[in-house]
Structure 1
Amino acid sequence: MTSNPPTISQTIDRYRTDFTAVLPTHINPEQWVRVTIGVIRRNPRLIEILQTNPGTMLAAMMDAARLGLEIGDTYHLVPFKNEIVGVTDYTGLIELMYRAGAVSAVKAEVVRQADRFDYSPAMDRPDHRPDWFADRGPVVGAYAYAEMKDGGVSKVVVRSQAEIEQVKDVSAAAKSNDSPWQKWPDRMALKTVVRELAKFVPTSAEHQAAATTIRPAPARTDPALDSEAAPLEINTATGEVLNEYDREDEPM
């Protein structure tokens, strides 16, 4: 007699303790897991991959948990072939900047062809004046910077649309119909500049501290599931899980 495959909840429940161990203290673990299950249930491709290749799904979920980001909002599970790519949204990167406590405001905008835009390295920030009620034309670039609580302004990151397209071209999953590059190109343009900005401002202090003291996970109850899981490689500078499907080639 063939047994039924485990349900979404049963599969994720086996790792609930692991997620709880790494989630930042301001996150409610039960709510985080419920939201994640809801996101998976609404996408047949996610359900399929969870059943056939759960390791990549669970690795992406662990990455989101370590970052303290909500799946479906500030972090996305993107199907790519028979795997899951975990992608941090640009809003998630901004959230990590705010959590660190040094940033008072983050400014990130796309620039369209009809906008008035002026910036040079001698300026502390761009002069961007869009006409919100006119046809602004296609996107020609994007920029981001942070205002610091000490009154200073961070490095200003400015990228042309051609430079943003270069980032897209090196993304392995960009051509997938489920890729955020296909669904939300403006958001991806913003992530390109916000991700670059993150190199110049502090991000979540709590998360960076946790990255150097990873709590051991309890013993598994499902060896078959363990054998499919990608080994977790931790970036100690950011705390992100860097598995082979989610390295620097998949910005968002």
Structure 2
Amino acid sequence: MSDLKDRVKAATAEDDQQPQQAGVLDIAAHDGHLKWLQSHGTYFTDALPRHVDKAHFTAVALSVLPSLKNCTNQSIMTSLLACARFGLEPDGRQAAIIPYKQTATFQPMYQGYIELMYRHPAVDTVHFGWIREKDEWDYEPTAPSPRDFRHRPRVDLTDDERGKVILAYAFAWISGHRSQVIMLNRQQTTEIRDKYSKGYAKAVREEKSDSPWQTSFDAMWAKSCVRRLVKVVPTSTDLTELINADDDADDASAVPSVIRGTVVARDDQEPGESSTEDPSWPTAAEPGSGAREGGEQE
């Protein structure tokens, strides 16, 4: 992470020489956002993987800045550099950035983990899904793959009619062979939260409700499931470092450090308008919602 820290230090050195109010980024209009982004853009666009379009990444970053209006320059640059380092867009799908008071924070979504899995040449496809109460499904661990698992969603029913979500599952096809199916129910997810999440424990201890486990349980459920899949797909340095960054984010929770964060703020919030709402995650996308198919806090 030393390279990332050096980039943040270099990117914020110019800002430190300019008069600011409490070190807070004060850009109230689109032109101001764009000017700030253009003056610092090379720091994170240079960190992008080759396959990521710099112009598109910059456009997505620009759309996020209004929600970070009260955040420090350093925390914004840290979050953008983290997104760039892993080649994940801060769009609330692959990764998300949310303000915790004056600190912008980064954290990957489950789609971000899946995006990094796809970058391994042996990974053919990755699938994530929800099983609802009235869906047709069957799991027989002793049967040969892929006949051991079957899920047929009730496409003739709405999500509400299909009933509550009872399981999250994920699997990958690797060099023509299907991986183990990772399945996670609500109780198992709660146990993961209680055993591993320092951020959740801190929120409970301080009687706060700003942990993503409290504001967006389903998103954490999805990510916990996909994070378990990481253990059975071909590994990579990027995936390992993403898990470490994700754990660092949870460890410090609402007092973010070098790489951390969560989501985007309300779309109707104007620049300069103070936000008093608790941070919350984007909804975990349903399969077929337009998201690329595709965490665990262990």
TM-score > 0.5 by shorter chain: yes
| Residue 121 (structure 2) pairs with residue 101 (structure 1) | yes
Cα RMSD over matched residues?
3.2
Going from structure 1 to structure 2, the CA distance change for 1:68 and 1:141 (only over 3 Å counts) comes to same
**What is residue 190 of structure 1 aligned with on the other side?**
222
Distance 1:121 1:176 in 2: 38
TM (normalized to structure 2)?
A: 0.60
- Match of 1:55, SS state, is helix
Structure 2 unmatched runs, 5+: 1-18, 204-208, 254-260, 262-294
Q: Is the 8 A contact 1:67 1:240 kept in 2?
A: no
The match for 2:76 among 37, 57, 72 is 57
| Residue 165 (structure 2) pairs with residue 143 (structure 1) | no
Tell me which amino acid in the other structure corresponds to 1:16: G
- Match of 2:56, SS state, is helix
Tell me which amino acid in the other structure corresponds to 1:162: Q
Instruction: Write out per-residue CA displacement over residues 36-60 of structure 1, whole angstroms, 9 at most, x where no aligned residue.
Output: 011222x2xx2112xxx33222222
Deviation at 1:133, TM superposition (A): 2.3
Distance 1:186 1:107 in 2: 17
Distance 2:20 2:250 in 1: 36
- Match of 2:228, SS state, is helix
The match for 2:50 among 1, 15, 25 is 25
Structure 1 unmatched runs, 5+: 212-234
Distance 1:160 1:3 in 2: 48
Instruction: Write out per-residue CA displacement over residues 175-231 of structure 1, whole angstroms, 9 at most, x where no aligned residue.
Output: 439x59635x5444322211211222136x6xx4xx6xxxxxxxxxxxxxxxxxxxx
Q: Is the 8 A contact 1:85 1:245 kept in 2?
A: no
**What is residue 114 of structure 1 aligned with on the other side?**
134
**What is residue 129 of structure 1 aligned with on the other side?**
152
| Residue 47 (structure 2) pairs with residue 47 (structure 1) | no
Going from structure 1 to structure 2, the CA distance change for 1:156 and 1:26 (only over 3 Å counts) comes to same
Distance 2:130 2:246 in 1: 30
Q: Is the 8 A contact 1:66 1:240 kept in 2?
A: no
Distance 1:34 1:115 in 2: 39
Going from structure 1 to structure 2, the CA distance change for 1:24 and 1:146 (only over 3 Å counts) comes to same
Write out aligned runs for 1:151-162 (5 A): 151-162=176-187
Write out aligned runs for 1:231-242 (5 A): 237-238=240-241, 242=245
Deviation at 1:146, TM superposition (A): 0.3
Deviation at 1:109, TM superposition (A): 0.6
Tell me which amino acid in the other structure corresponds to 1:238: E
**What is residue 90 of structure 2 aligned with on the other side?**
71
**What is residue 232 of structure 1 aligned with on the other side?**
none
Distance 1:142 1:240 in 2: 19
Distance 2:73 2:246 in 1: 14
**What is residue 15 of structure 2 aligned with on the other side?**
none
Q: Is the 8 A contact 2:171 2:179 kept in 1?
A: yes
- Match of 1:65, SS state, is helix
TM (normalized to structure 1)?
A: 0.70
Instruction: Write out per-residue CA displacement over residues 79-122 of structure 1, whole angstroms, 9 at most, x where no aligned residue.
Output: 33432331212222111111212111112111112223322332
Q: Is the 8 A contact 1:63 1:240 kept in 2?
A: no
| Residue 236 (structure 2) pairs with residue 201 (structure 1) | no
Deviation at 1:143, TM superposition (A): 0.7
Q: Is the 8 A contact 1:63 1:241 kept in 2?
A: no
